[in-house]
Amino acid sequence: MLEQLKQKVYEANMLLPKYGLITFTWGNVSGIDREKGLFVIKPSGVEYEKLRPEDMVVVDLEGKVVEGDLNPSSDTDTHLVLYRHFKNIGGITHTHSRWATAWAQTGRGLPAYGTTHADYLYGEVPCTRALTMEEIRGEYEWNTGKVIVETFEELDPDLMNAVLVRSHGPFVWAENATKSVEKAVVLDEVAMMAFVGEAATACAMKAIPQELLDKHYLRKHGKHAYYGQKQE
Ligand SMILES: O=C(CO)[C@@H](O)[C@H](O)COP(=O)(O)O
């Protein structure tokens, strides 16, 4: 059942290590067959090097595993909540990718600072509020999904396809699993660009004095040297 979707979701999961979006077994990708009301997700805790298409787990929209020998991802309930509330999405990627996760830890939304961002993400990527102690102690992954849905009460998930879960990391969605990974790659790139750009504009650094520049450059290249040409 759903062999083709399992293959596609497997291939999408394997893009995470290919694009450097994960370490160890972090992250997970899923894809849904809306007609059947079933989605396929990575199994929990399996090293990507050992992952096989047949390891993918099939889950219904009640959260029940209908196919698969392994436990579904620990984030399955978060994916489930998003599939239930965001009716047009076909695939979801969650990572702990370095730059997007670091931005999620700031608790800030990620502004659209440039056209690279704008090519894939329509505006500021929102950051959720922190989960309450009760939400953390309760159905944590379910509540993570609910906080994302709450964050989108005023936003259209078909226009903004990503969210930063505060202190946790990005969840990104698209029309299918593979496209959701592509968007997760871009999100991490533009988060890095935002960090660098904000640091560059906020920095109080000054260029070194000419004398220090001379000391280092000229002692290596000879007096009045021009780069690459040694003066006699
Ligand atoms: O967010 C988390 C853990 O904080 C998860 O995404 C893990 O990083 C991967 O868990 P599995 O999908 O292997 O259960």
Tell me the per-residue pLDDT of 81-116, one tens digit each, with 9 for 90 and over.
999 999 999 999 999 999 999 999 999 999 999 999
Is residue 230 predicted with pLDDT exceeding 80?
no
Residue 203, pLDDT above cutoff 90: no
Is the per-residue pLDDT at 187 higher than 90? yes
Question: Is the beta carbon of 28 within 6 A of some atom in ligand 1?
Answer: yes
Using a pLDDT cut of 90, give the percent of the chain over it: 93
User: 10 Å Cβ neighbour count for 135?
Assistant: 16
What average pLDDT does this structure show over 71-89?
Answer: 98
Please say if the pLDDT value at position 179 is more than 90: yes
77 lines ligand 1 (CB under 6 A): no
**pTM, full prediction:** 0.91
State the ipTM, two decimals: 0.94
Q: Tell whether the model's pLDDT for residue 196 goes beyond 60.
A: yes
Indicate the top mutation candidate among 26, 30, 50, 97 to test ligand 1's pocket, ranked by most ligand atoms within 8 A of CB.
Answer: 26
Mean pLDDT of 185-191: 98
For residues 23 and 16, give the distance between their C-alpha atoms in angstroms, rounded to a whole number: 9
β-bridge partners, 41: 30, 57
pLDDT band with cut points at 50, 70 and 90 for residue 222: confident
- By annotation, the residues acting in catalysis are 119, 227
Strand ranges of the sheet holding 28-33, from the earlier edge strand across to the other edge:
65-67, 57-60, 38-41, 28-33, 91-94, 169-174, 162-165
What integer pLDDT is reported at residue 1 of this predicted model?
A: 62
**Mapping DSSP to helix (H, G, I), strand (E, B) and coil, where does residue 28 land?**
strand
Whether 105 lines ligand 1, by a CB cut-off of 6 Å, is no
Whole-angstrom Cα distance, residue 221 to residue 231? 8
Calculate the average pLDDT of the chain.
95
Averaged pLDDT, 26-52: 97
Using a pLDDT cut of 70, give the percent of the chain over it.
95
Q: Is the pLDDT of residue 221 over 90?
A: no
Q: How far is the CA of 108 from the centre of ligand 1 (A)?
A: 22
- How close is the Cα of 228 to the center of ligand 1, in Å? 51
Which numbered atom of ligand 1 lies nearest the CA of 71?
14
Q: What is the mean pLDDT of residues 42-52?
A: 97
**221 or 225: which carries more pLDDT confidence?**
221
Question: Ligand 1 centre and the CA of 74: distance in Å?
Answer: 6
pLDDT attached to residue 227: 53
Mean pLDDT of 52-69: 97
Q: How far is the CA of 216 from the centre of ligand 1 (A)?
A: 48
Average pLDDT over residues 114-138: 98
Provide the strand spans (E) within the chain: 28-33, 38-41, 57-60, 65-67, 91-94, 162-165, 169-174
Ligand 1 and 27: CB distance under 6 A: yes
Say if ligand 1 is within 6 A of residue 44 CB.
yes
